[in-house]
A = this chain, B = another copy of it.
Amino acid sequence: MNEFDRYDVLGIGNAIVDVVAHAGDDLLEALGLEKGAMTLIDEARCEDLYARMGPARETSGGSCANTMAALAALGGRAAYVGRVRDDQLGRVFSHDIRAAGVAFRNPPAPDGPATARSLVFVTEDAQRTMQTYLGACVELSPSDVEEDLVRRADVTYLEGYLWDRPAAKDACRKAAEIAHAVGNSLSLTLSDPFCVDRWRGEFRALVQGQVDILFANEAEITSLYETASFEDAARQARGEVGLAVLTRGAKGALVLQGEQAVEIRAEPVARLLDTTGAGDLFAAGFFRGLAGCMGLADSGRLGALAAAEILSQYGARAEQPLLPLLERLRSAAA
A residues in contact (CB < 8 Å) with B? 19, 21-22, 50-51, 53-60, 69, 87-89, 92, 95-97, 99-100, 114, 314-315, 317, 319
Q: Which of B55, B59, B95 contacts A96 (CB 8 A)?
A: B55
Residues of B within 8 A of A21 (CB): 99
| Assembly CA distance A129 to B114 (angstroms) | 31
Can you list 5 A-B contacts with CB-CB less than 8 angstroms, sorted by A residue number? A19-B92, A21-B99, A54-B100, A57-B317, A87-B88
Looking at A54, A55, A314, which has the most chain B CB atoms within 10 Å of its CB? A55
Please, which residue of chain B has its CB at the minimum distance from the CB of A101?
B55
12 more A-B contacts (CB under 8 A) besides A54-B99, A56-B96, A87-B87?
A22-B319, A51-B95, A55-B60, A55-B69, A55-B95, A55-B100, A56-B92, A57-B58, A58-B58, A58-B59, A58-B92, A88-B114
| Assembly CA distance A50 to B69 (angstroms) | 18
Residues of B within 8 A of A53 (CB): 95, 99
Residues of B within 8 A of A96 (CB): 55-56
Please, which residue of chain B has its CB at the minimum distance from the CB of A58?
B58
- Tell me if B55 and A99 are in contact (CB < 8 A): yes
- Tell me if B314 and A55 are in contact (CB < 8 A): no
Residues of B within 8 A of A89 (CB): 88
Q: Which of B51, B59, B87, B88 contacts A57 (CB 8 A)?
A: B59
Residues of B within 8 A of A19 (CB): 92
| Assembly CA distance A67 to B243 (angstroms) | 52
| Assembly CA distance A69 to B100 (angstroms) | 31
- Tell me if B315 and A57 are in contact (CB < 8 A): yes
Residues of B within 8 A of A97 (CB): 55
| Chain A interface SS verdict (over half) | mixed
| Assembly CA distance A59 to B319 (angstroms) | 14
| Assembly CA distance A59 to B69 (angstroms) | 20
Nearest-Cβ distance from residue A117 to partner chain B, whole angstroms? 9
Identify the 3 closest CB pairs spanning chains A and B, nearest first. Answer: A58-B58, A88-B88, A55-B96
Residues of B within 8 A of A22 (CB): 319
Nearest-Cβ distance from residue A50 to partner chain B, whole angstroms? 6
Please, which residue of chain B has its CB at the minimum distance from the CB of A89?
B88
- Tell me if A99 and B59 are in contact (CB < 8 A): no
Residues of B within 8 A of A60 (CB): 55
Residues of B within 8 A of A54 (CB): 99-100
- Tell me if B57 and A57 are in contact (CB < 8 A): yes
Nearest-Cβ distance from residue A306 to partner chain B, whole angstroms? 15
Nearest-Cβ distance from residue A91 to partner chain B, whole angstroms? 8
| Assembly CA distance A99 to B21 (angstroms) | 10
Known A87-B88, A88-B88; judge A95-B315 contact (CB<8 A).
no
